């Protein structure tokens, strides 16, 4: 409709003016309301940014509720769902009563024996026991994944107790793979059992420092794995770039640490494989710790014959002295009576075949006294001498019970007081002196029967002649 066709009466014009004024007021009102709403939202956002979250600001609560503790320690996920509904507070410290007594003071000079209190959390309890469903529930309820009231995080405990699924869950929810305990250890240092291999894998995948050091000893994860005889851990750490010859605060490399660890008879092969892996990766077999002890000194002290032979075959020095003046031979002879099941005679034989120094003849009675329960060790040692001055001191050095148990051998030794060594033995000594350090290289190449080669290499016969 054109403007000229519309009838503009005074009443119509006033009505249009009123409508226009009302529309203008409504437009201004909407603009003002929109601006005020924007300012309120902005203020709310600013306050939220300035104000810490409730979980970060509020300290963990102390929980002494037996029902909660029982549900956590038994892994009852259904009860935990009821105890921890959405929005429930899950950052709490639990104080279970330990089994050890300790002295405590009340601050007024009075001391009393009380049961030691351990500090833990729902995360620690579920992670250390492998209750993955319970752990997942607690994490979903917003538990602080790096809370460490007892000095270690839940991730440390999951690794220590070989719980790979719990380790993965914790890392997936942001746990620090390099968290340091109050003792200065990272989670990788806690992977100390063969069953913890999967835990170590997850840690490395989530950024654990392969050459991270403990605070006090400066141990790397490779030190920890070698010290505990963990072959697969050592192999994996080397693949991830572990430094094979990095020393700790005592000057021990991973190879030193593996050789230094006391080893039960059943674990000798594990430690041999660890040393074999480290040497294959380029470990220095002649490295010295702060006491100038080499891996060979340590291996002899622990009477691991396979490791001793491995070190010698790879260039270990057989006659290096430590600060105390002891050579590897001294170290093995000091522990023979404690390591009878370890075949200490093999260690003594290997050292002599690689040119080790011998015991001063005047000290042989003392050696017999300390090694009397291992006739083979004494046999190998005595066969390194062309002449022996056997006297009453030798007889007195052997306890009656040992003599009775090995009478045939000791009778052959004591008979040397009236009889010189046999011509066959003297020939053996002469050949060994001539070869001087080349015994193990030359004798296997000689065109001789096997039993003669073994004889030249100080094989055991059960008597001396």
DSSP per position, 266-315 = GGHHHHHHHHHHHHHTT--TT---TT---HHHHHHHTT-HHHHHHHHHTT
pLDDT at 88: 82
pLDDT confidence bin for 117, thresholds 50/70/90: low
pLDDT at 64: 76
Q: Over range 437-443, report the average pLDDT.
A: 89
Q: Over range 35-54, report the average pLDDT.
A: 41
Burial track 242-281 (b if 16+ CB lie within 10 A, e otherwise): bebebbbeeebbbbbbbbbbebeeeebebbbbbbbbbbeb
Alpha-carbon gap, residue 56 to 417, rounded angstroms: 84
pLDDT at 24: 63
In this predicted structure, the answer to whether residue 14 has a pLDDT above a threshold of 90 is no
pLDDT confidence bin for 26, thresholds 50/70/90: low
In this predicted structure, the answer to whether residue 350 has a pLDDT above a threshold of 50 is yes
pLDDT at 65: 78
Q: CA 397 → CA 116, 150, 338, 443, distances in Å?
A: 51, 55, 18, 35
Q: Over range 177-187, report the average pLDDT.
A: 95
Structure token pair of residue 447: 């065109």
Choose the weakest-confidence range: 97-111, 132-146, 410-424. 97-111
DSSP secondary structure, 64-108, as one string = --HHHHHHHHHT-HHHHHHHS-TT----EEE-PEEEEEEEEE-SS
pLDDT at 30: 53
Beta strand segments in 88-214, E: 92-94, 97-105, 111-117
Between 255 and 76, name the one with better pLDDT.
255
- Tens of pLDDT, residue by residue over 218-236, are 999 999 999 999 999 999 9
Alpha-carbon gap, residue 419 to 408, rounded angstroms: 16
Residue percentage of the chain with pLDDT more than 90: 71
360 Ramachandran zone, left/alpha/beta (phi>0; psi -120 to 50): beta
Alpha-carbon gap, residue 309 to 105, rounded angstroms: 55
Q: Over range 134-162, report the average pLDDT.
A: 94
Between 44 and 141, name the one with better pLDDT.
141
pLDDT at 55: 39
How many other β-carbons are positioned within 10 Å of the β-carbon of residue 383? 23
Structure token pair of residue 381: 């040692």
- Beta carbons of 230 and 237 less than 8 angstroms apart: no
Alpha-carbon gap, residue 456 to 448, rounded angstroms: 10
Phi and psi, residue 124, nearest 5°:
-60, -45
Q: What is the CA radius of gyration of the chain?
A: 38
DSSP secondary structure, 347-392, as one string = HHHHHHHTTPPPPPGGGHHHHHHHSTT-HHHHHHHHTT-S-----H
pLDDT confidence bin for 22, thresholds 50/70/90: low
- Tens of pLDDT, residue by residue over 126-135, are 999 999 999 9
Handedness of CA 175, 177, 182, 188 (dihedral sign): positive
Burial track 320-345 (b if 16+ CB lie within 10 A, e otherwise): bbbeeebbbbbbbbbbbeebbebbbb
pLDDT confidence bin for 37, thresholds 50/70/90: very low
- Tens of pLDDT, residue by residue over 264-288, are 999 999 999 999 999 999 999 999 9
- Beta carbons of 203 and 166 less than 8 angstroms apart: no
Q: CA 192 → CA 18, 225, 246, 249, distances in Å?
A: 87, 6, 19, 20
DSSP classification of residue 111 = E
Alpha-carbon gap, residue 208 to 204, rounded angstroms: 5
DSSP helix/strand/coil, 1:
coil
DSSP classification of residue 120 = B
Q: Over range 425-451, report the average pLDDT.
A: 91
Q: Kindly list the structural domains of the chain, giving each domain's residue range(s) and its CATH number in brackets, ordered by start.
A: 57-98+114-209 (1.25.40.20), 248-357 (1.25.40.20), 362-465 (no CATH)
Alpha-carbon gap, residue 129 to 75, rounded angstroms: 8
pLDDT confidence bin for 38, thresholds 50/70/90: very low
Q: CA 266 → CA 272, 304, 342, 385, 448, distances in Å?
A: 12, 11, 10, 34, 36
């Amino acid at each position: 409709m054109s403007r000229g066709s519309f009838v503009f009466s005074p009443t119509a014009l006033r009505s249009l003016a009123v409508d226009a004024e009302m529309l203008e007021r409504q437009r201004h009102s909407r603009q003002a309301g929109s601006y005020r709403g924007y300012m309120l939202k902005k203020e709310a956002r600013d306050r939220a940014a300035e104000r810490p979250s409730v979980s970060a600001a509020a300290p963990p609560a102390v929980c002494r509720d037996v029902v909660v503790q029982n549900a956590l320690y038994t892994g009852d996920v259904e009860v935990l769902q009821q105890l921890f509904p959405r929005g429930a507070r899950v950052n709490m410290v639990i104080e279970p009563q330990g089994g050890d007594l300790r002295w405590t003071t009340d601050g007024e000079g009075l001391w009393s024996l009380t049961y030691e209190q351990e500090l833990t959390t729902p995360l620690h309890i579920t992670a250390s026991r492998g209750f993955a469903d319970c752990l997942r529930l607690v994490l979903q309820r917003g538990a602080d994944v790096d809370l460490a009231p007892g000095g270690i995080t839940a991730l440390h405990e999951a690794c220590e107790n070989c719980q790979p699924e719990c380790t993965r869950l914790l890392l997936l929810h942001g746990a620090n793979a390099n968290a340091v305990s109050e003792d200065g250890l990272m989670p990788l240092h806690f992977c100390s059992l063969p069953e913890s291999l999967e835990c170590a894998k997850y840690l490395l995948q989530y950024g654990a420092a392969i050459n991270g050091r403990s605070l006090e000893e400066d141990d790397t994860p490779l030190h920890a794995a070698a010290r505990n005889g963990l072959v697969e851990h050592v192999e994996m750490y080397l693949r991830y770039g572990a430094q094979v010859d990095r020393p700790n605060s005592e000057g021990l490399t991973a190879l030193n640490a593996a050789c230094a660890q006391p080893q039960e008879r059943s674990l000798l092969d594990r430690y041999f494989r660890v040393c074999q892996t480290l040497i294959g990766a380029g470990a220095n077999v002649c490295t010295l710790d702060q006491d100038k002890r080499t891996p060979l000194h340590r291996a002899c002290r622990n009477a691991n014959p396979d490791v001793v032979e491995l070190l010698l075959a790879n260039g270990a020095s057989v006659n290096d002295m430590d600060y105390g003046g002891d050579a590897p031979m001294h170290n093995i002879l000091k522990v023979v009576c404690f390591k009878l099941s370890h075949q200490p005679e093999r260690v003594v034989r290997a050292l002599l075949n690689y040119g080790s120094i011998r015991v001063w003849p005047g000290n042989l009675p003392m050696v017999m006294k300390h090694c009397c329960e291992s006739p083979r060790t004494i046999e190998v040692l005595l066969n390194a001498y062309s002449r022996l001055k056997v006297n009453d001191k030798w007889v007195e050095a052997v306890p009656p019970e040992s003599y009775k148990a090995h009478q045939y051998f000791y009778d052959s030794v004591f008979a040397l007081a009236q009889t010189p060594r046999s011509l066959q033995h003297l020939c053996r000594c002469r050949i060994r002196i001539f070869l001087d350090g080349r015994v193990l290289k030359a004798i296997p190449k000689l065109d001789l029967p096997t039993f003669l080669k073994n004889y030249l290499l100080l094989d055991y016969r059960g008597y001396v002649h």
